[in-house]
Amino acid sequence: MSGERGLAVARFVVRVIYADTDQMGLAYYGNYLRWFEVGRTEMLRELGMSYRQVEEAGFRMPVLEARCRYLRPARYDDELVIETTLVHRGRASLRFEYRVLRRTDGELLANGQTAHCFLDAEGRAVRMPPFFVELLDRAIRG
Q: Can you give the binding site for its own copies, defined by CB under 8 A?
A: 17-19, 21-26, 28-31, 33-34, 37-38, 41, 50-52, 60, 62-70, 73, 76-77
Q: What's the rounded Cα separation, in Å, for the pair 120 and 129?
A: 9
Q: Which is nearer to its own copies, 69 or 138 (CB)?
A: 69
Q: How far is the CB of 44 from its own copies (least distance, A)?
A: 11
CA proximity to 30, closest of 42, 21, 40, 18: 21
Q: Which is nearer to its own copies, 3 or 113 (CB)?
A: 113
Task: Single out the catalytic residue among 20, 22, 105, 137.
Answer: 22
Has 137 been annotated as catalytic?
no
Q: How far is the CB of 110 from its own copies (least distance, A)?
A: 10
Q: How far is the CB of 28 from its own copies (least distance, A)?
A: 5
Q: Which is nearer to its own copies, 3 or 28 (CB)?
A: 28
Q: Which is nearer to its own copies, 77 or 137 (CB)?
A: 77
Q: How far is the CB of 97 from its own copies (least distance, A)?
A: 14
Long-range contacts of 122-129 (CB under 8 A, 24+ apart): 125/92, 126/59, 126/92, 127/91, 127/92, 128/89, 128/90, 128/91, 128/92, 128/93, 128/94, 129/57, 129/59
The SS3 assignment for 83 reads strand
Which residues carry out catalysis? 22
